[in-house]
Amino acid sequence: MTVQVPKTGFIELDQGQLFWRYDSPVYDKDRAESGSSPRPVLLFIHAWDEQVVYYTARGWSTLRFDLLGYGQSVPSESYVQRGCTPAVKHHDHAMEVIEKYRLFRGHAAIDEKFVMIGLSRGASYAIDFALQSPHLTAGLVVCAGGLGGFDLANTNQEIAMFECHDDYVAKGDAHNAAMMDVRIWGRGTQGNDGRLSKMVGDKLYDWCKLIAQREIAGTGGSAIPAQDLTPKAAERLSDINVPTVVAFGRYDDTSTNETMKYVAQRIPGSKLTEFGTAHMINLECPSEFNDWLGAYLDHFLF
């Protein structure tokens, strides 16, 4: 077996620094000499560390980046000072990452395509990329996300939870904002007390507290506005013509779940799967999720 050192870097933009990372597959001799067709690269958007380890060990190349305002992607001081305007086109940032990857890989990357894999916000931006750059898109995986131009109301109880979170952010209370995030995204707005494991809850709390701190400072999370496609994605889903799978968590908020059902209905040939989780599907049930995604990716091996 050969383990490759990952390639990481930053892309300098007017809006800030965009962190990206490429992990090459762990090949064994039999697979390398099998003569099978080249695999597309898996481009993960937003919170996929465990999946990168899992799939590189199974022969897949993976590319990922932190959305601006998350992880190691930090907005510039000038962008923050001008009120974070204009809004960020995350689908364009994905293209910037691909261009940087191509420079790094050279001739080997000329004909490569990408399976766009997004969770939460990343799901919406994966859809946008597939619509804007169909010539680069081999497949699409959409998990527990939103959709540009498609806004469905949550229940009154769910709306109250989101308003409570926003109140904590407005007061500068990152701890309680993160606790409310765990309630919303971890336990789920439709889940019961005690449903979420402590390990997952603690990990999610740490993530959400950092995001809340950045939202309070105006340097990340919802403080960084995103710009939709024109026309918006909700009007164009039938244009997507690549193998697509869609997933949602049973205990996630009403709006997200109904959005995922809408996406699956409108993208030709797409398949919808319900998991017994809330928002963070891959974090709550990684083995089940990896089996599901692996079955989808098997279609690219023949």
pLDDT in tens, 215-237: 999 999 999 999 999 999 999 99
Position 33 scores a pLDDT of 47
Is the model's pLDDT at 79 over the cut of 90?
Answer: yes
Spell out the long-range contacts of 175-178 with Cβ–Cβ below 8 A and sequence spacing 24 or more. 175/209, 177/208, 177/209, 177/212, 177/215, 177/216, 178/205, 178/208, 178/209, 178/211, 178/212
Lowest mean pLDDT among 29-43, 209-223, 232-246: 29-43
Position 108 scores a pLDDT of 73
Q: Which residue in the block uniquely carries the two structure tokens 């494991």?
A: 197
Is the model's pLDDT at 188 over the cut of 70?
Answer: yes
Task: Name the residue with higher pLDDT: 28 or 161.
Answer: 161
Is the model's pLDDT at 266 over the cut of 70?
Answer: yes
- Strands 16-23 and 62-65, sheet pairing: antiparallel
Position 15 scores a pLDDT of 96
Which residue intervals of 17-149 are DSSP H helices? 29-32, 49-56, 77-81, 90-105, 121-132
Q: Which residue in the block uniquely carries the two structure tokens 């998350």?
A: 70
User: Is position 193 within any domain?
Assistant: no
What distance in Å separates the CA atoms of residue 301 and residue 249, rounded to the nearest whole number? 28
What distance in Å separates the CA atoms of residue 257 and residue 142, rounded to the nearest whole number? 12
What's phi and psi for 226, nearest 5 deg?
-110, 145
Q: What percent of the chain has pLDDT over 70?
A: 94
Query: Cβ distance 212 to 168 under 8 Å?
Result: yes
Buried b (16+ CB within 10 A) or exposed e, 20-42: bbbbbbbeeeeeeeeeeeebbbb
Helices 198-217 + 174-181 axis angle, to 10:
130
How far is residue 301 from each of residues 54, 105, 113, 260, 298, measured CA to CA in Å?
Answer: 17, 22, 14, 27, 5
β-strand partners of 119? 143
User: Is position 179 within any domain?
Assistant: no
User: Is position 211 within any domain?
Assistant: no
User: Is position 84 within any domain?
Assistant: yes
Query: Cβ distance 204 to 182 under 8 Å?
Result: yes
Give me the number of domains the chain comprises.
Answer: 1
Q: Is the pTM of this model over 0.75?
A: yes
Tally of CB atoms within 10 A around 87:
12
Query: Cβ distance 50 to 288 under 8 Å?
Result: no
Is the model's pLDDT at 32 over the cut of 70?
Answer: no
User: Is position 259 within any domain?
Assistant: yes
Is the model's pLDDT at 301 over the cut of 60?
Answer: yes
242: CATH: 3.40.50.1820
Task: Name the residue with higher pLDDT: 27 or 182.
Answer: 182
Lowest mean pLDDT among 44-53, 58-67, 93-102, 282-291: 44-53
Lowest mean pLDDT among 4-18, 90-104, 164-178: 4-18
Position 193 scores a pLDDT of 84
User: Is position 69 within any domain?
Assistant: yes
Lowest mean pLDDT among 8-17, 43-52, 86-95, 155-164: 43-52
User: Is position 184 within any domain?
Assistant: no
For 36, what's the count of Cα atoms within 13 Å in the CB-facing half-sphere? Answer: 15
Position 55 scores a pLDDT of 96
Lowest mean pLDDT among 29-43, 100-114, 161-175, 203-217: 29-43
Is the model's pLDDT at 30 over the cut of 50?
Answer: no
Range of the structural domain that residue 84 is part of: 7-153+223-301
User: Is position 128 within any domain?
Assistant: yes
Is the model's pLDDT at 273 over the cut of 50?
Answer: yes
Letter for the amino acid at 45?
A: I
Is the model's pLDDT at 203 over the cut of 60?
Answer: yes
